[in-house]
Amino acid sequence: MTRTQVAIIGAGPAGLLLGQLLDKQGIDNVILERQTGAYVLGRIRAGIIEQGTVGLLDSVGASARLHAEGLVHDGAQVSVDGTRHRIDFRALTGRAVTVYGQTEITRDLMKVRADSGRATVYEARDVSLHDLDSATPIVRYEKDGARQEIACDYIAGCDGFHAVSRQAIPLNKLTTHERIYPFGWLGLLSETKPVSDELIYVRHERGFALCSMRSPTRSRYYIQCSLADSIDAWPDSRFWDELALRLDSDARRNLVTGPSIEKSIAPLRSFVAEPMRYHRLFLAGDAAHIVPPTGAKGLNLAASDVGYLSAALAEFYRTGSTRGLDTYSERALRRVWLAERFSWWMTSLLHHFPDHSSFDRRVQLAELEYLFSSRAAATALAENYVGLPF
Ligand code: PHB
């Protein structure tokens, strides 16, 4: 049996960032991860980083490479049935976003974690949470065939949508809200020059598309696909052909194709479980909420959650007050719901919905028309995209 102050379940960006935010406050913590480090790094996620998230990475010393290699984007483009429009984040909000892959953030946080000397246990199997309503909750797990136990003051569930933390909360203590979208995103990563200096979000009768990037030589593209599609039905050549059909003529001319480095299909989901606390267990990131990727809010929400949680834990260990811990769920959920709304809205604005009537489609086009003709409407998109205050 080992003892720590905070046991963190999950070594994705949420768990690793929380671990280092606590480390900076001198709070002992152990991170348990079911997978290997290599597996965690193999998960490709979005790559738009809000300034608030950058600030948290700065504070734990994990942002040097982000500042050196990340691309600062002052705006993004929206293409509607072949005509491109620009949303100028800088002019509308005074702020910008940084394009830098979540995989790279995880890699940077892993390095800082290793340097800090705090414990991270990879391949921790059969993790289970016990005595959550006592003063000393226990985490049990198995490592290399041996049973292990950690006694702690608090547990942070940062283990994603499918994992054990949320499931440790009795069903009648949790309210869940969910929307499943009737399509998926087929994503492709390639070692090719991006089609544009800025991201292009594409609304097209054939379906949504997104031109994103990881660097000046590495592109990330997505196309809306059917949930029934399998990856085998999408050889690279079919992906590039379908993407080209959805782009405006300028983008189509600039499109450089090449072999995929990674290709995967992701379903789109909106989900919130509340409250984000059960006695001594606190949920953060995907363990408590999922957003569809449109707008790239997932990582940034995980960052604001662990920012609030680390501040609340620091207050408790400094002063003995549980005020921050008692208001954590409410505080985090306020920002979560605003990002849920924005991600749902961006998704609704840009995708082809199979069950839409002609009325629904005309309203979608009117919404886009309003976005491009009203500074107020563009500002509403921009201030959400660059990130609401932490
Ligand atoms: C990505 O680069 O993977 C990405 C960017 C913006 C999004 C979603 C995904 O809205």
Average pLDDT over residues 332-355: 98
Return the pLDDT at 163: 85
Taking CA atoms only, the protein residue closest to ligand 1 atom 9 is: 46
Q: pLDDT-based confidence at 1, cuts 50/70/90?
A: confident
Q: In ligand 1, which atom is closest to the CA atom of 187?
A: 3
Average pLDDT over residues 311-327: 98
> If you measure from the C-alpha of residue 273 to the centroid of ligand 1, how many angstroms do you get, rounded to a whole number?
24
pLDDT digits (tens, 9 = 90+) for 187-205: 999 999 999 999 999 999 9
Q: How far apart are CA 285 and CA 337, in angstroms?
A: 13
Return the pLDDT at 308: 98
Q: In ligand 1, which atom is closest to the CA atom of 46?
A: 3
Taking CA atoms only, the protein residue closest to ligand 1 atom 7 is: 296
The angle formed by the CA atoms of residues 375, 376 and 378, to the nearest 5 degrees, is 65
- Ligand 1 site, residue 212, Cβ cutoff 6 A: yes
pLDDT at 80 over 90: yes
- Ligand 1 site, residue 293, Cβ cutoff 6 A: yes
- Ligand 1 site, residue 298, Cβ cutoff 6 A: no
Cβ-based neighbour number of residue 108 at 10 Å: 21
Q: Which residues are catalytic?
A: 73, 201, 293, 297, 385
pLDDT digits (tens, 9 = 90+) for 163-173: 899 999 999 99
> If you measure from the C-alpha of residue 378 to the centroid of ligand 1, how many angstroms do you get, rounded to a whole number?
19
Q: pLDDT-based confidence at 44, cuts 50/70/90?
A: confident
Taking CA atoms only, the protein residue closest to ligand 1 atom 3 is: 46
Average pLDDT over residues 307-335: 98
Q: pLDDT-based confidence at 291, cuts 50/70/90?
A: very high
Residues of the chain with pLDDT > 70: what percent? 100
pTM: 0.97
pLDDT at 43 over 90: no
> If you measure from the C-alpha of residue 19 to the centroid of ligand 1, how many angstroms do you get, rounded to a whole number?
26
Q: How far apart are CA 172 and CA 191, in angstroms?
A: 48
CB–CB of 57/347 below 8 Å? no
> If you measure from the C-alpha of residue 263 to the centroid of ligand 1, how many angstroms do you get, rounded to a whole number?
14
**What residues are paired with 157 via a beta bridge?**
9, 283
Q: pLDDT-based confidence at 324, cuts 50/70/90?
A: very high
92 to each of 88, 295, 382, how far by Cα in Å? 6, 17, 7
> If you measure from the C-alpha of residue 308 to the centroid of ligand 1, how many angstroms do you get, rounded to a whole number?
25
Joined together, the tokens standing for residue 357 give 């009537």
CB–CB of 307/181 below 8 Å? no
Q: In ligand 1, which atom is closest to the CA atom of 294?
A: 10
| CA proximity to 157, closest of 45, 288, 34 | 288
pLDDT digits (tens, 9 = 90+) for 92-136: 999 999 999 999 999 999 999 999 999 999 999 999 999 999 999
- Ligand 1 site, residue 294, Cβ cutoff 6 A: yes
45 to each of 60, 104, 293, 333, 342, how far by Cα in Å? 22, 10, 9, 22, 18
> If you measure from the C-alpha of residue 296 to the centroid of ligand 1, how many angstroms do you get, rounded to a whole number?
5
Taking CA atoms only, the protein residue closest to ligand 1 atom 4 is: 46
Q: What is the helix (H) or strand (E) element at residue 213, kind and residue range?
A: strand 209-215
236 to each of 48, 187, 208, 240, 264, how far by Cα in Å? 25, 11, 18, 6, 11
- Ligand 1 site, residue 346, Cβ cutoff 6 A: no
- Ligand 1 site, residue 47, Cβ cutoff 6 A: yes
Taking CA atoms only, the protein residue closest to ligand 1 atom 1 is: 46
Residues of the chain with pLDDT > 90: what percent? 98
Cβ-based neighbour number of residue 193 at 10 Å: 16
> If you measure from the C-alpha of residue 370 to the centroid of ligand 1, how many angstroms do you get, rounded to a whole number?
24
- Ligand 1 site, residue 220, Cβ cutoff 6 A: yes
CB–CB of 257/241 below 8 Å? no
Q: pLDDT-based confidence at 351, cuts 50/70/90?
A: very high
Q: Which of 222, 294, 345 to mutate to test the pocket of ligand 1 (most atoms within 8 A of CB)?
A: 222
pLDDT at 212 over 90: yes
| CA proximity to 336, closest of 241, 240, 243, 270 | 270
